[in-house]
Structure 1
Amino acid sequence: MPECVSVSEFVQEVQDDWSSPTTSSFTSKMMSCRNTVYLLEEVSLPG
């Protein structure tokens, strides 16, 4: 199962990126963010 991120983890990553973009790890975490959105979309689709 793909790794998921919580809302608070996502917000923290965005804040870190905003305050220090050159040392941010946001781009390396994007796959986890995308996986979370994908899983949420799958759950919310009518079956």
Structure 2
Amino acid sequence: MPDQISVSEFLSETTEDYNSPTTSSFTTRMQSCRNTVNVLEEVRPCC
């Protein structure tokens, strides 16, 4: 299964990116964010 990221990790990463964009590691975690969204979309009930 692809690497996933929790909501708290996402919030922490985005806060760090906002507060210090030049030293942030958010861009390196983007694939994990995308994977998590894809997994959530796959299990979301239809209708």
TM over 0.5: yes
**Superposition TM-score, scaled by structure 2 size:** 0.93
Structure 2 residue runs without a partner (length 5+): none
Say how many residue pairs are matched: 46
Matched letter for residue 7 of structure 2 = V
Structure 1 runs of 4+ aligned residues shifted over 6 Å read none
1:19-46: CA deviation from partner (whole Å, max 9, x where unpaired): 0000000000000000000000000153
Structure 1 residue runs without a partner (length 5+): none
Give the distance between the partners of 2:38 and 2:22, measured in 1 at CA. 28
Q: Indicate the RMSD between aligned Cα atoms, in angstroms.
A: 0.8
Identify the residue that residue 13 of structure 1 maps to in structure 2: 13
**Superposition TM-score, scaled by structure 1 size:** 0.93
